[in-house]
Structure 1
Amino acid sequence: MKFSELIGKKLKDPEIIELLEQNEIEVVYDFDRHFENMDDVYWASCEVGGFQLRFNKEQILDTVFLYLSAHDGFSPIQHSMIDVKTFENFDNAESYYKENAMDYIASPGEPGSDMFKWWIKVQLGNIKIHHQFEQEKTIRVTLFSNDA
């Protein structure tokens, strides 16, 4: 599955519909019920498949969460379904981005703090890729549009 190519597609796009139907995923409308001036969004979660989709108020896919390890009730996604580079840990990701002269942003924090080597983010074409780490291993990769 090329999740990165789905970013920017509408909820009713044939590729999105096929993904939802193949995985028997229901779409949940999450509206601003408490009048907090939050945009309404739509969620499509596949806990067994290890991924979650977020559509913005215009029903355009703007964020994809890929769970590389069991976390938040999601099973690990099959690595063959991931179409972006993944890394074993923060150091591997940072080395790769440095070696390839790619601009990246990393979590702030001093050694020993919870924020130290917690995430790293890079822009690749029309998407941003956010790698999140826990106990020195990747737990989730998030793909999102530039306007998400």
Structure 2
Amino acid sequence: MTLVELLGMNLKDDVVLQFLEDYQVGELVYWFDRLHEGTDDEYRANAKASGFEVIFDQNQVLETVFCYASPTDGFASVDAAVAGVPFFSSPAEAECAALTAGHRCTKGTVDVPQLGLKTSWVLHERADARVHYEFRDSVLALVTLSRPKS
């Protein structure tokens, strides 16, 4: 089982629980709307040593997974095989792969010199997931998996 295959599954599904145990996912933290801003509650857990963080919605359904393609903020690099999606060496390669596979694709860049932030991204909209590739200084840094929009 891979992270992309787990999208849409319930936290208490046996396969999800086994996956979380296999990858030694730490505490599950409940985040709620304590400021009354109208945001939905969610459940978060991470496996820093395995390079990913999972987010379940208020109904305990897996909505989003952050896969760290390079070490960041205490997270190791995730194994692409665990993520279940291909990793690319450049935005151009990611865009070409989406077009070749027939996936809807959007892309963009962010350049904020004051913050030293220069990123580019490519979003694949697949039938099973939305896969967002973020490149920092032309290196794949983060792959975000989320459920497809209905």
Q: TM-score, normalised by structure 1?
A: 0.88
CA-CA distance at 1:77 after TM superposition: 1.1
More off after superposition, 93-102 vs 8-17: 93-102
- Residue of structure 2 in register with 1:28 after alignment: 29
- 1-structure distance, mates of 2:52, 2:104: 26
Say whether residues 1:19 and 2:12 are aligned partners.
no
Task: Tell me, in whole angstroms, the C-alpha distance in 2 between the residues paired with 1:72 and 1:107.
Answer: 24
- Consecutive unaligned residues of structure 2, counting only runs of 5 or more, are none
Q: Against the structure 1 CA distance between its residues 108 and 136, is the aligned structure 2 distance closer, same or farther, given a 3 Å change threshold?
A: closer
Q: Distance in 2 between matches of 1:142 and 1:62?
A: 11
State whether residues 129 and 146 of structure 2, in contact with CA within 8 Å, keep that contact through their aligned partners in structure 1.
yes
Call closer, same or farther: CA 1:70–1:42 in 2, change over 3 Å: same
Equivalent position of 2:131 in the other structure? 129
Q: Which has the higher helix share?
A: 2
User: How well do the aligned residues superpose, as a CA RMSD in angstroms?
Assistant: 2.0
Change (3 A) 1:24 1:103: closer
Whether the aligned pair in 2 keeps the contact of 1:132 and 1:141 (CA below 8 Å) is yes
Q: What is the SS of the residue equivalent to 2:50?
A: coil
Deviation per residue, 1:117-137 (Å, 9 max, x gap)? 611101111311100100101
Structure 1 residues 122 and 79, CA, compared in 2 at 3 Å: closer, same or farther?
closer
Shift of 1:38: 0.8
| Matched residue type, 1:6 | L
Does residue 81 of structure 2 align to residue 70 of structure 1? no
Q: How does 1:1-148 map to 2 (within 5 A)?
A: 1-22=1-22, 23-108=24-109, 113-114=111-112, 118-147=120-149
Q: Give the TM-score taking structure 2 as reference length.
A: 0.86
Deviation of 1:6 (Å): 0.1
| Residue ranges of structure 1 left out of the alignment (5+ in a row) | none
The alignment of Structure 1 onto Structure 2 pairs a total of residues equal to 145
Q: Letter of the 1:139 partner, please give it.
A: A
- Asked if the contact 1:30/1:41 (under 8 Å) is kept, the reply is yes
Kept in 2, the 8 Å contact 1:89–1:133? The answer is yes
